[in-house]
């Protein structure tokens, strides 16, 4: 069983930056792929970014955030980060981190087993 707790959300002006954190406990977290998703009011939860587990380095990003967001992980601290810059009002959403019992990344929510409670990000114009 893996528990995930997000933090770092808040209110920011257009063009600003935020760094989200997701602290994990339980399980062999370093071997699990991790992902960030977001859900805006009235919309479905959508993929944002993912990073592989285990050895090597592989990341994927949604086209809407490519070049602006960066996912990273610190396996010593069992923490995943999402650095967000050049934020836009359309980035406003609740952001969730998730992990799956696999080293490979995925973009589909149903492929992730464990989820955090979410953290609100609001970008004001």
How many whole angstroms separate alpha carbon 105 and alpha carbon 29? 14
Please give the pLDDT value at position 14: 98
Confidence of residue 28 (pLDDT cuts 50, 70, 90): confident
Which residues lie below 8 Å from residue 63, measured CB to CB, with a gap of 6+?
none
Residue 116 has pLDDT above 90, yes or no: yes
Please give the pLDDT value at position 27: 78
In tens, the pLDDT along 54-81 reads 989 999 999 999 999 999 999 999 999 9
**Structural contact between residues 30 and 75, judged by C-beta atoms closer than 8 angstroms:** yes
Angle (CA) 108-113-115 rounded to 5° is 90
**Structural contact between residues 14 and 125, judged by C-beta atoms closer than 8 angstroms:** yes
Angle (CA) 45-66-52 rounded to 5° is 70
Residue 89 has pLDDT above 90, yes or no: yes
Please give the pLDDT value at position 105: 96
């Amino acid at each position: 069983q893996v528990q995930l707790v997000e933090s770092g959300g808040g209110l920011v002006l257009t063009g600003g930056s935020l760094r989200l954190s997701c602290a994990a406990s339980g399980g062999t977290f370093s071997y699990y792929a991790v992902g960030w998703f977001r859900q805006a009011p009235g919309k479905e939860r959508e993929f944002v970014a993912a990073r592989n587990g285990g050895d090597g380095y592989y990341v994927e990003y949604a086209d809407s955030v490519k070049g602006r967001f960066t996912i990273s992980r610190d396996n010593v601290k069992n923490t995943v980060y999402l650095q967000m810059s050049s934020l836009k009002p359309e980035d406003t959403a609740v952001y969730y981190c998730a992990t799956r019992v696999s080293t490979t990344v995925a973009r589909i929510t149903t492929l992730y087993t464990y989820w955090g409670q979410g953290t609100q990000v609001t970008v004001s114009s």
